[in-house]
Amino acid sequence: MCGIFGAFNYWGDIDEYRIQALSMSKKIRHRGPDYSGCITKGQNIICHERLTINGVSSGAQPFANADSSLILSVNGEIYNHLALEATLKDKSQFMSKSDCEVIMHLYNEIGTDVVEKLDGFFAWCLLDTRGEKPRVIAARDPIGITSLYFGRNTAHPEAIFFASELKALESECDIIEEFPNGHYYDSDTDSFVQYFKPNWWDEKSIPSTPANLKVLRNSLVTAVKKRMMTEVPFGVLLSGGLDSSLIASITAREYKKRIINHTGVPGESNVKSFAIGLPGAPDLLAAEKVAKFLGTDHSSFTYTIQDGLDAVYDVIYHLETYDVTTIRASTPMYILSRKIKATGVKMVLSGEGSDEVFGGYLYFHYAPTNEEFHSESVKRVKNLHTSDCLRANKSTMAWGLEARVPFLDVDFLQVAMNIDPKYKVCHDGSQPRIEKYVIRQAFEIDCKEAEFSEEEIKDGPYLPHEILWRQKEQFSDGVGYNWIDSLKAWAESKVSDEKFAKRHVTYPDDTPDTKEAYLYREFFDRLFPNPASKKSVVRWIPRTDWGVSSDPSGRAQKVHEKTTI
């Protein structure tokens, strides 16, 4: 990942503005600490803050073609770049080994259709100066794994701005919006075009395809293998929950195969795994059990309540949200990311997305019907860019660490989101069953319907039984139950009853409903005083109309610790 900033059709002296643009780009340098680049052309400027993952010795950005008529800045990874390069008519034009340069050359040949060809996660902006007037194309990946914002200054409506984080736009724009995922922007029409239109995107369309456990498992394995594309040290985030443990298991297996393929002899996997929690946290204990089972090079880190409280203000600065759920979970992830970066690791695989795809949050137990279960799942996936993707992207990139999320691979989603919800719901007829049952079955070595290959059977179980069937523990709970309790107590001590009683006056829009939410809103407004900055904030809450608690903590749901296998 990297950081990008672009200003197009700027109204003033572009050479003088270059200093201001570099200053705005510097606000997101944490995303790309390895190198900075800047190109101006006409009344346009593109800045890039680079984190080197592939094409380490080359690939400096922004990219420019031979005559500098096309200029491109990309934040992301394109997994199918070699296949795309093979389709080019002119294969001699590459100036780097970056997986992202192909976007510019493919655009040169097929135009905006390039966005539909890309397999990966990305945010990019491209300046095309070949026509009578400059054209700007910008795009964001289908799910919104990579952050991107769009801004304008109403005094100069002809100008447009793009940045990886809104903090780079705060001083210049009075309109700041999150760039819609699965869309591209075209300045020729001054409009966004939705290019990602899978058949499952309509939340009212209920699938009826039976669950094929083998196809489901193989598609996730393929998604993990794609994301092992790197030239730098990498690892896995391992909370000890089902999702991160599955990703860690697949990664460890595939890493062992690489060792055998390169040396001809078996070897222990030395994939690095990382966990964090308060001392004695449930996640730390479970993660250590998984790491021992998989043979990973494991690091367990602890933090104190005070460490966490001290980090909250910085977390809100990096996340650019006041959502309670996101801040609770992001704080330990933020602390962990710094520790991981200190080990020399620059990329990690993570388990985000599974809970949305399979209805893993405990409130899904109370879905009134299969149809409502599925519709809620689709809504959660479509809005991941406002919550878990935002957390995974910005908590890690605060320290120049890239997070990749196999559960949100578009091919995997095409399989998983088209499964009849009766295979996903938390009951089988009148009998309750554990959440995410279908994906657990797909990796259960004793499940005949999963159709394991001889090689998989020989390799043994993917996970210990107690981990494969461990109940959902939301990350902000699993790091230690007194973490959330301490946040609530801290907010209680910081926000007076008098102040909270006037919350509707102070915050008439999106009024905080708890002192914890009030405190985070105060911090956010102090950090981002521009009223435009609040527009992209979305609060994560369970479906209270299903009769569940509005508290986003999993512990707030009655089913917590009561589900049996």
Return the sign of the alpha-carbon dihedral for residues 490, 492, 496, 502. Answer: positive
In single-letter form, the type of residue at position 44 comes to N
Q: What are phi and psi of 20, to 5 degrees?
A: -65, -40
pLDDT of amino acid 565: 28
Bond before 180 cis per omega within 30 degrees = no
| 175 three-state secondary structure | strand
**How far apart are alpha carbons 39 and 13 in whole angstroms?**
15
What does the block give as tokens for 539? Answer: 């609060």
Res. 481 pLDDT band, cuts 50 70 90: confident
Confidence class for position 562, pLDDT limits 50, 70, 90: very low
What are the pLDDT digits (tens) for 361-402? 989 999 999 999 999 999 999 999 999 999 999 999 999 999
Q: How confident is the model at residue 457 (pLDDT cuts 50, 70, 90)?
A: very high
| d(C-alpha 504, C-alpha 506), whole Å | 6
Cα gap 487→506, rounded to integer Å? 22
Asked if 2 is an active-site residue, the reply is: yes
CA distances from 432 to 238, 418, 427, 469 (A): 28, 23, 4, 14
Average pLDDT, the chain: 92
Q: Which of 278-292, 366-380, 474-488 has the lowest mean pLDDT?
A: 474-488
Q: How far apart are CA 471 and CA 55, in angstroms?
A: 41
Residues 475-480 have a mean pLDDT of: 67
Q: Identify the active-site residue in 2, 100, 125, 389.
A: 2
In terms of DSSP bridges, do strands 431-432 and 427-428 run parallel, antiparallel, or are they unpaired? Answer: antiparallel
Q: Is the pLDDT of residue 54 over 80?
A: no
> Which amino acid does the sequence have at 208?
S
d(CA 41, CA 68): 9
By the 10 Å C-beta count (0-12 exposed, 13-18 middle, 19+ buried), 264 is classed as: exposed
Q: How many other C-beta atoms lie within 10 A of the C-beta of residue 553?
A: 21
CATH class of 213-480: alpha beta
DSSP string spanning 183-230? Answer: EEEETTTTEEEE----TT--TT----BPP-HHHHHHHHHHHHHHTT--
Which pLDDT does position 477 carry in this prediction?
Answer: 66
- Residue whose tokens read 């070897």: 267
Angstrom distance (rounded) from CA 400 to CA 32:
6
Residue 128's pLDDT band (cuts 50, 70, 90): very high
Contacts of 98 (CB under 8 A, 6+ apart): 54, 55, 58, 59, 61, 63
Q: What is the mean pLDDT of residues 97-102?
A: 90
β-pair type (3-8, 347-349):
unpaired
Pairwise CA distance, residues 104 & 72, whole Å: 7
CA distance 403 to 260: 26
Coil vs helix vs strand at 429: coil
CA distance linking residue 359 with residue 380, whole number of Å: 9
Environment class of residue 355 by beta-carbon count within 10 Å: exposed (0-12), middle (13-18) or buried (19+)?
buried
Percentage with pLDDT > 90 across the chain: 83
Question: Which of 155, 184, 145 is CA-nearest to residue 388?
Answer: 145
Domains 3-194 and 213-480 agree in fold: no
The rounded radius of gyration (Å) of the Cα atoms in the chain is 23
Per-residue pLDDT for 263 more than 70? no
The answer to whether residue 462 scores a pLDDT higher than 60 is yes
pLDDT at 556 (0 to 100) = 55
Q: How far is CA 237 from the centre of its chain?
A: 13
Q: Which CATH number is 3-194 given?
A: 3.60.20.10
What tens digit of pLDDT does each residue of 498-555 get?
Answer: 999 999 999 999 999 999 999 999 999 999 999 999 999 999 888 989 988 777 665 5
List of residues 6+ apart from 314 with CB closer than 8 A: 334, 398
277: three-class secondary structure by DSSP? strand
Q: Give the three-state DSSP class for 512.
A: coil
The pLDDT confidence band at residue 563, using thresholds 50, 70 and 90, is very low
Question: pLDDT tens, 154-183?
Answer: 999 999 999 999 999 999 999 999 999 999
Q: What is the mean pLDDT of residues 119-123?
A: 97
Predicted local confidence at residue 55, as pLDDT: 60
The pTM of the whole model exceeds 0.85? yes
What's the first-to-final CA gap in the chain, in angstroms? 39
Q: What pLDDT digit, counting tens, does each position of 191-245 carry?
A: 999 999 999 999 999 999 999 999 999 999 999 999 998 888 899 999 999 999 9
Q: Domain coordinates of the chain in residue numbers?
A: 3-194, 213-480
